[in-house]
Amino acid sequence: MNLVLLGAPGAGKGTQAKRIEENFHVLQLSTGDMLRAEVRSGSPRGQQADALMKAGRLVPDEMIVGMIDRRLDRDDCRGGFILDGFPRTLAQASALDEMLAKKGLKLDTVLSIDVDDEAMVERISGRLTCANCGEGYHDSFKRPKIEGICDVCGASRFVRRADDNAETVRARLKEYHAQTEPIIAYYDKGGLVRRIDGMRSIDQVTAQVTSALKECVRAG
Ligand code: AMP
């Protein structure tokens, strides 16, 4: 199964993508994670992306499209993939259609996780991740069971993303509405979109996602 996960920053795409990965054995491809790895490596591409990401702006389409095109050719994508954070512009969506057609692949569904903007500023500003295994936590909504210790791997160092502050979140939300939201109508024309209410609890959102994907599998 090949799918696209759409939703504003903070909608829970990363969290749900990890759960889909476990439940449906498809690979999560997060362009945000790929770019953060480039920034950490100090590559020219990372240096170009860094300032734009810190300002909450999108990086150029050509950079992202090339990255995904190369990534989809790797063997671990054969069993299916979840695109998390891509496409984010109409140009990226049409580039994706072209590259999938060339590779003999297609999208099975597009999940749109719908949320309210103001709640997202609070959600994102409290996010943190285990520096060792990447498990996600939140100051108010999901604290580790033992304070300061990761539930999954026991590590005690947590990190926050440089772009997870209120000012940058507002810029990211603006980019989302201007550039990314039109993609929902683009995929709606092909009847691919399934809407998910992202304002519920994490587990309730997972339940909706799971039933949407089971329906997609049944529809074949
Ligand atoms: P994310 O982790 O998906 O929230 O992405 C973090 C940041 O990476 C975004 O605010 C953008 O600056 C950049 N980014 C990630 N994916 C894309 C994309 N498909 N197109 C352009 N910029 C992207």
d(CA 52, CA 45): 11
d(CA 166, CA 89): 23
- Of all atoms in ligand 1, which is nearest to the CA of residue 36? 8
Q: What percent of the chain has pLDDT over 70?
A: 100
Test site for ligand 1: of 36, 53, 177, most ligand atoms within 8 A of the Cβ? 53
Strands (E), the chain: 2-7, 27-30, 81-84, 109-114, 127-130, 136-138, 158-159, 193-197
pLDDT digits (tens, 9 = 90+) for 143-193: 999 999 999 999 999 999 989 888 899 999 999 999 999 999 999 998 999
- Residue 23's pLDDT band, with cuts at 50, 70 and 90, is very high
Task: Select from 105, 95, 104, 121 the least CA-distant residue to 31.
Answer: 95
- Residue 123's pLDDT band, with cuts at 50, 70 and 90, is confident
Evaluate: CB of 34 within 6 angstroms of ligand 1: no
- Of all atoms in ligand 1, which is nearest to the CA of residue 86? 19
Note the Cα 121 to chain centre separation in Å: 17
Question: Given this model, what pLDDT does residue 122 score?
Answer: 86
Q: Is 134 within 8 Å of 161 (Cβ atoms)?
A: no
Look-up of token digits 């502050």: 165
Tell me what the mean pLDDT of segment 28-55 comes to. 94
Q: Are strands 136-138 and 109-114 parallel, antiparallel or unpaired?
A: unpaired
Residue 15 contacts by C-beta under 8 Å, 6 or more apart in sequence? 136, 202
Q: For ligand 1, atom 11, which residue shows the shortest CA distance?
A: 58
Task: Select from 20, 9, 128, 172 the least CA-distant residue to 83.
Answer: 20
Catalytic residue IDs: 13, 88, 127, 161, 172
- Residue 125's pLDDT band, with cuts at 50, 70 and 90, is confident
- Of all atoms in ligand 1, which is nearest to the CA of residue 172? 10
Against a cut of 0.85, is the pTM above it?
yes
